[in-house]
A and B are shown apart, each in its own frame.
Chain A
């Protein structure tokens, strides 16, 4: 199975500042035939189910503010939250859908400093 490793496990960021979360896969999730990275990001607020933020590594899901952006390719990916808001306090998960055994990162907790 592909192993997804996020860093850091948690971070505290001041309101209005930038939060950066990294996700590394144990093998490439770039599909050569369409040149797309099979990676998604989810936001999970306390007591709520995960919510899709980004798919294809950088495509924002419907309704997701443009403060959220995804980047990276192959095995290394980044979720950036610009201008952090109080409402962004959550755990963020990366997920690969390259294999037929969907695997998730361990999650990164974002708090307000």
Chain B
């Protein structure tokens, strides 16, 4: 079945960077975009950016574009999200999700989530 498995929890100090992986299985990785979404404690889900797993095109939220980099490794069927210059407000659960429409619509399925804690 289609599955996205993310890397484990991270604890980082302010100013550091974090890189999370999202390994896909059960489908042709390059056929569908991968989206990244985060959920800070008590906050609504926040879209971060996406990558075309096929050609590597990306788009980022305006809020994060200066600090966010999304990449992919097609041989490993894995997408990566790197967020730099971390601050306490970046403490959140980070999710990757597939776009099954292939045309930037809804998200399904989602990875299990990766908790990133930013603390001095």
Per DSSP, chain B at the interface is loop
For B, the interface residue count at a CB cutoff of 8 angstroms equals 21
Interface residues of A in 10-59 (CB under 8 A from B): 38, 40, 42, 48-52, 55
Bound Cα distance from A18 to B108, whole angstroms? 26
Q: Which of B13-68 contact A (CB under 8 A)?
A: 35, 37, 44-47, 59, 61-62
Q: Which residues of A contact B110 (CB under 8 A)?
A: 49-51
Chain A CB count within 10 A is highest, among B37, B45, B104, B111, for B45
Residues of A within 8 Å of B44, CB to CB, are 93, 104-107
A61 to B37: give the CA distance in the assembly, Å.
20
Taking CB atoms, residues of chain A closer than 8 Å to B62 are 101
Determine how close the nearest CB of chain B comes to the CB of A82; give it in whole angstroms: 22
Find residues 65-113 in chain A having any chain B CB closer than 8 Å to their own CB: 93, 95, 97, 100-107
CA distance A61 to B97 in the complex (A): 15
Q: Tell whether, in the assembled complex, residue B106 and residue A49 are in contact, meaning their CB atoms are under 8 Å apart.
A: no
* Closest Cβ–Cβ distance, residue B30 to chain A (whole Å): 21
Q: Which residue of B lies closest to A49 (CB)?
A: B110
Q: Is the CB of A49 within 8 A of B61?
A: no
Nearest A residue to B105, CB-CB: A97
In the bound complex, CA of A101 to CA of B95 (Å): 16
B112 at the interface (CB under 8 A from A): yes
For B104, give its contact among A55, A100, A104, A105 (CB under 8 Å): A100
Chain B 60-93, CB within 8 Å of chain A: the 1/0 string? 0110000000000000000000000000000000
User: Which of B45, B59, B61 is in CB contact (< 8 Å) with A50?
Assistant: B45
Pair A95/B46 contact, Cβ less than 8 Å: no
